[in-house]
Amino acid sequence: MKRYLLFDDGCHVCASTAKGVEEDSGYWLVARSLRDPHMKTLLDTHKPGWKHRPTLVEDDGTHIRVSTGLAMSARLTAGVGLRRTARIARRVARRFARETSAPAAEGRRDALRAAGVGALALLGLTFGVTPAGARAPGDPDLLQGAALKRALDAAQRDAQVKTAVGELSAAGFDGAVKQALAFTGDTGSTVVVLFFAPLNKAEAKNRAAVLSHQYGGTLEQAKTLVEYVSADLDTIKKKDSFSSEDFHVTRGAAAPAGAGEYFGCMLTCVGGQCTIPAMRCRALIFLWAVLACMVAVCGSKARSCHGICKTLW
């Protein structure tokens, strides 16, 4: 599979920007210029009337898929995850900001915006990142780097988690983790949240599975809970705020057994206390990505909401 992220930062995709984008994606894709003759021919063939805007091209040797805008956002997020997608968005947004910051660039800035060169910033906006001020995605209360890896490794070694993941297929979900987040609880414990997509890809827009695992600190024993979330994203995108009725959450496996209403409470709490950043997550197409995004951009609120919702575990 060959994947190309096409964009134009004013210098035929400067080498440093292209190299950075490829590294940010874990070399899942190659950065190319929209001015590249081969790419232009490919777009002319497979997307007649294409616009001068960031574009993802996927070529499996038989079929070629061309995505822009929200569709591109979804494909990138599904391919490289939320954090890598946000890093790519920040890098392109920074380059765009430098190219258009000088007074003499006013006319060029307007032309570029009209042409859609800033469209990749949509990914950044999803995570609260803008071309004018590219901030790191997420929140300092979320575990990062080595700390995150240690938390995920500990969770995935846990027998409760292994059993719960093994039972996902019976409920129609793929056992491969699509996104993982972790934060510290108020008792010194660590909370790991894993997000899963349905086996039927056509259901990914409206269904997701969430596994929450808490361990360490003053907890006498680790706790694991699986909950299944469904939602009508088309309806949610028309609203100005989240409500408890937007997400239907049902309990799956739990050890030890509990009420099984934890993540439903978390969604209501985060959506209420972190409304504007959380609502930006609606731009993502897959439900698992929307849910993970809501926690990622509202890290401190997720921690405080955990303190409220943990009694419903």
Tell me how far the alpha carbon of residue 267 is from its chain's centroid. Answer: 16
pLDDT score for 115: 33
Which of the pair, 151 or 299, is modelled with greater confidence?
151
* Residue 119 pLDDT exceeds 50: no
pLDDT score for 304: 82
Which of the pair, 92 or 182, is modelled with greater confidence?
182
* Residue 31 pLDDT exceeds 70: yes
CA distance 139 to 313: 24
CA distance 85 to 72: 10
pLDDT score for 184: 87
Q: Which of 8-22, 27-41, 168-182, 267-281 has the lowest mean pLDDT?
A: 8-22
Confidence tier at 72 by pLDDT (50, 70, 90): confident
The residue-averaged pLDDT of 61-66 equals 88
pLDDT score for 10: 52
The residue-averaged pLDDT of 49-69 equals 85
Question: What residue ranges do the domains of the chain occupy?
Answer: 2-126, 145-312
DSSP strand E in the chain: where?
2-7, 30-33, 55-59, 64-67, 179-184, 190-196, 207-215, 223-231, 247-255
Place of tokens 């959450």: 249
pLDDT score for 170: 93
Average pLDDT score, the chain: 77
Which of the pair, 282 or 9, is modelled with greater confidence?
282
Query: Averaging pLDDT over each range in 176-180, 195-199, 237-241, 289-293, which range is the top one?
Result: 195-199
* Residue 258 pLDDT exceeds 90: no
Q: Please, what sign has the CA dihedral across residues 76, 204, 171, 221?
A: positive
Confidence tier at 125 by pLDDT (50, 70, 90): very low
Confidence tier at 127 by pLDDT (50, 70, 90): very low
pLDDT score for 210: 95
Tens of pLDDT, residues 163-213? 999 999 999 999 999 888 898 877 789 999 999 999 998 999 999 999 999
Tens of pLDDT, residues 3-21? 998 876 555 456 677 788 8
Percent of residues, the chain, with pLDDT higher than 90: 26
The residue-averaged pLDDT of 274-296 equals 82
Q: What is the 3-state secondary structure (H, E, C) of 150-169?
A: HHHHHHHHCHHHHHHHHCHH
Confidence tier at 130 by pLDDT (50, 70, 90): very low
The residue-averaged pLDDT of 213-239 equals 89
State if pTM tops 0.75. Answer: no
Bridge partners of residue 223, in order along the sequence: 214
The residue-averaged pLDDT of 25-37 equals 89
CA distance 252 to 228: 7
CA distance 76 to 100: 25
pLDDT score for 284: 78
Which of the pair, 94 or 234, is modelled with greater confidence?
234
